[in-house]
Amino acid sequence: MTQDPAAAGRPVPLHTGTEPHLSPEPRDLMGALAEEHAAEFGGDGAGPSVRPAIAESWRRSRDFGLLPETRTAAPLVLDRDTVTGLRAGHPLAADLPLVRALLRDAAEASGHLMVVTDAMGHALWAEGSPQALRDATGIGLIEGFCWAETAIGTNGIGTALATGRPEYVYAAEHLTSVLHRWSCAGAPVTDPDSGQVVGCLDLSGTAPRLHPAAVRLVEAAARLVETRMQVRVQRSDERLRERYGRHLRAPRGGPGLLVTTTGRVLLGEPDRWRGHRLAPPVPGRTVVLPDGREAVAEPLGEVFLLRPAEPDAAEPAAPHAQRPLLSLCLLGDGQPYARLNGRRLPLSLRHAEILALLALHPRGLSGDRLSWYLYGDEGSPVTVRAEIHRLRAQLGALVGAKPYRLECDVDADFLGVRRRLDDGDVAGAARLCAGQLLPRSDAPAVRAERDELQVRLRRQILDAGGADGLWAFAQTDMGQGDAEVLDRLRGMLAPDDPRRAMVAARSARLREDG
């Protein structure tokens, strides 16, 4: 590797950063790279014409057990219906028109191909000229095929996802021999909310027609998409701070945080914690705060509330000029409770059922309707009046009458899950879901809402959740014993993903128990 390439008489790609600038004789370069490729996989080691990023990728590919003739095309891993579902829920779907305007038009005009993948390297969109699509079909550079390094070795998509930076892969720089007539430029896209790579933008074409400057084009497109995603995140953050910030403004004896489902601190006491990124919270489990203490993650609508200790339950809530905010925590097997401007209020099962129904019907319910929702044909408005009287002893004038309604701003953890599903944020919905809605309730309307929410969450997770959504759902009480979810997740995770072994072990236990 220390030999002077010029002395060897070989044309060399001069490069700065990730962009290799080809010599004036690309065909000579292609031949030189082919020789280096043969030397590397013939046992002599990579020569000086191989860029460090490519040599490293070749080593990773070999560690995955891949060799130049291992595959004649990328593997097909997703059927058409699964691709359609993943497209609908993918974070890049909203910005696809922009990506097309930046990349597809250029690809069609030059006979190239635009490909957009998810974070696992699964191609979800492949668009370009008819000839480019015909050529790409032969190697699996179309929807449903996997282009991770673990699947097909060094390539512009998989290598960009592996390194987390834009990459250009030219001709025989590809690991697989069948790809040596191709070149590709890929750039990963990072979600500013989660901080995780969510996909890759790629331009591909036959070598040497795809100029190495294409990597700059896909990188610029990726950064523009990230900027648009950041704007949406900022708008969402302001809405969440406005809605839930009141829970931090009540008096308390220690620090507290409002945190997104992805672990970003929206608001904090002390304020210097705002902007920190913590581990993604899991309902009911502990999270390490920035000062090293631990706090239990408490779902609160669309966010999590973290405090190292509960405030005094007898402490009155702080006065507020705004309407009070009542947040209901009704998911999971624990005791249901509410938070009123930060103060925690335990709830009986019946009161939790009433509040859940009033939250679902903000315009109010008559006594007859509320009775039927709670008791079915056996109920009566007299019984409802008695329960409402007891609930008013706890919430006062916040419970109105004629019709029965909540005279405050109201939110609930199960409503937050519904909103996330409506917005297509399936992984966020799974992270918020601490369990079933009031699992001990027999109220007819509560049972119906519980069943509908569970079926909807599971269906959307399977259709469009992706690996992150499936993994989050698999951690819940509902998902940890779901064989179909586990099988789908195992098929999506890369062989070197540590979660794959855990999923396989759990699947094996389910088969043994079944």
Q: For 308-407, list the strands marked E by DSSP.
A: 325-329, 337-340, 343-346, 399-400, 405-406
The answer regarding whether domain 14-232 maps to CATH 3.40.1370.10 reads no
Summarize the confidence of residues 171-200 as an average pLDDT.
94
CATH C-level class of 256-412: mainly alpha
User: 411: which 2 tokens?
Assistant: 């939110």
Mean of pLDDT values over 370-384: 89
Residue 62: burial class (beta carbons within 10 Å; 0-12, 13-18, 19+): middle
Q: Which of 196, 331, 282, 281 is nearest to 475 (CA)?
A: 282
Q: Write down the pLDDT at residue 385.
A: 92
So what's the pLDDT on residue 36?
A: 65
The span from the CA of 39 to the CA of 49, in Å, is 11
Residue 126 CA to residue 120 CA, distance in Å, equals 16
Sequence letter at residue 231: V
Residue range(s) of every CATH 1.10.10.10 domain in the chain? 256-412
pLDDT for position 6: 34
- Is the pLDDT assigned to residue 44 strictly greater than 70? no
Residue 160 CB contacts under 8 Å (≥ 6 apart), including other chains: 166, 167, 186, 187, 188, 200, 202
> From the centroid of its chain, how far is CA 173?
31
Query: What mean pLDDT, rounded, does the chain reach?
Result: 84
For residue 248, name the pLDDT band (cuts at 50, 70, 90).
confident
Please say if the pLDDT value at position 319 is more than 80: no
Region of poorest pLDDT, from 250-259, 288-297, 358-367: 250-259
pLDDT of residue 424: 83
Mean pLDDT of 314-343: 76
At residue 219, the pLDDT reads 96
- The owner of tokens 């030397």 is 39
Q: Which of 454, 495, 492, 451 is nearest to 473 (CA)?
A: 454
Locate CATH 3.30.450.40 in the chain: 14-232
Phi first, then psi: give them for residue 270, nearest 5 degrees: -75, 160
Q: How far apart are CA 355 and CA 328, in angstroms?
A: 8
CA dihedral 9, 10, 11, 12 (to 10 degrees): -120
pLDDT digits (tens, 9 = 90+) for 447-501: 999 999 999 999 998 888 778 888 888 888 888 889 999 988 887 777 667 888 8
